[in-house]
Structure 1
């Protein structure tokens, strides 16, 4: 990603992608402009993970302790998380544009992340479904990267391309999966990009009038 890194306090309105992995991709905003990376440090990644509600708070607390004790390793883990995120963005947006070939570099990167995650995972059965699971004890500071890589592989196999879109909002470019009944959702969030677009349209019409 080319752009800037900026501090950001995550709120529920940042989780509009329809899937945890898509929300990870959306930790960069303004992809249609210069791009602003909201993951300005490993603690921010933990903050985002906590907000999703998909991770055990005890695991996140353990990761924070590891990060405090091993800041250099935490920074490396964050860099690898960014690499996974950008590879997923490139791959998902290529899949949405069904006429574009899947980027070889992004495919290779996602594959490597998945292999590293699978090497630390164990097979378990939840309900009636076998799953590969990772733990902080086995993955250390890479736990979030490993968990997200495993979830990403599952998502990519079942991604509903007819309902996966890129928001056309000004300075946005977020990806989202449209789960609305009619399947006509256009914006990542009507309260932000949708209303902003309406406001600009109204202003332009007023000027012309």
Structure 2
């Protein structure tokens, strides 16, 4: 990602992707203009993870203590998560746009992250359903990255391409899964990109109408 890194306080309105993995992809904003990476440090990644509700608060507290004790390793773990995020963005958007072939580097990178995560998993059975799980005891500071890599594999196998979109809003480019009944959602969020687009359209129409009126007026 060619862009800048900037601080951001995550809010519920930042989680519009419809899936944990896509919400990670959307921690970069303005991808269609001058991208800004909101993950300006490992603590910010933990802030985002807490907001998703996917991770146990006790696990996040343990990660925070580990990061404070080993800031260098925490920075390396964040770099790996950024790499996974960008590979997922390139792969998912290529699938959405039906690019052929999809970016080989992105496929390889996502595969590498999944294999590293899978090597740290253990098999559990909950509600009679077997599943692979990772934990801090085996993944350490890469726990979030490993969990997201496992989730990404499941998502990519069942990604509803007809419902997965890239927001066309200015300074956006977020990805989202349209879960609306009619399947006609266009914007990542109507309250932000949607309203901004409506405002621009109204302004442009008003200017056009004013210009037409001025041209038609006689002396």
Q: TM-score range by the shorter chain?
A: over 0.9
Aligned residue in 1 for 2:216: none
After alignment, is 93-102 or 25-34 more displaced?
93-102
Question: Are 1:169 and 2:169 counterparts?
Answer: yes
Partner of 1:132: helix, strand, or coil? strand
Cα distance in structure 2, aligned partners of 1:103 and 1:128:
37
Aligned residue in 2 for 1:20: 20
Partner of 1:138: helix, strand, or coil? helix
Q: In the TM superposition, what are the counterparts of 1:133-144 in structure 2 within 5 Å?
A: 133-144=133-144
RMSD over equivalenced CA pairs, Å: 0.6
Q: After superposition, what is the alpha-carbon deviation per residue over 1:44-77, rounded to whole angstroms, capped at 9, x for unaligned?
A: 0000000000000000000000000000000000
Cα distance in structure 2, aligned partners of 1:84 and 1:100:
21
TM-score (norm 1): 0.99
Measured after TM superposition, the shift of residue 98 of structure 1 is 1.5
Q: What is the total number of aligned residue pairs between the two structures?
A: 209
Aligned residue in 2 for 1:201: 201
Aligned residue in 1 for 2:91: 91
Aligned residue in 2 for 1:132: 132
Aligned residue in 2 for 1:78: 78
Runs of at least 5 residues in structure 2 that lack an aligned partner in the other structure: 210-219
Cα distance in structure 2, aligned partners of 1:98 and 1:123:
35
Aligned residue in 2 for 1:45: 45
Partner of 1:120: helix, strand, or coil? coil
Cα distance in structure 2, aligned partners of 1:152 and 1:128:
23
Cα distance in structure 1, aligned partners of 2:109 and 2:28:
18
Moved over 4 A (4+): none
Structure 1 or 2, whichever has the larger Rg, is 2
Partner of 2:165: helix, strand, or coil? strand
Question: Are 1:10 and 2:10 counterparts?
Answer: yes
Measured after TM superposition, the shift of residue 128 of structure 1 is 3.1
Measured after TM superposition, the shift of residue 97 of structure 1 is 1.2
Aligned residue in 2 for 1:64: 64
Q: After superposition, what is the alpha-carbon deviation per residue over 1:16-62, rounded to whole angstroms, capped at 9, x for unaligned?
A: 00000000000000000110000000000000000000000000000
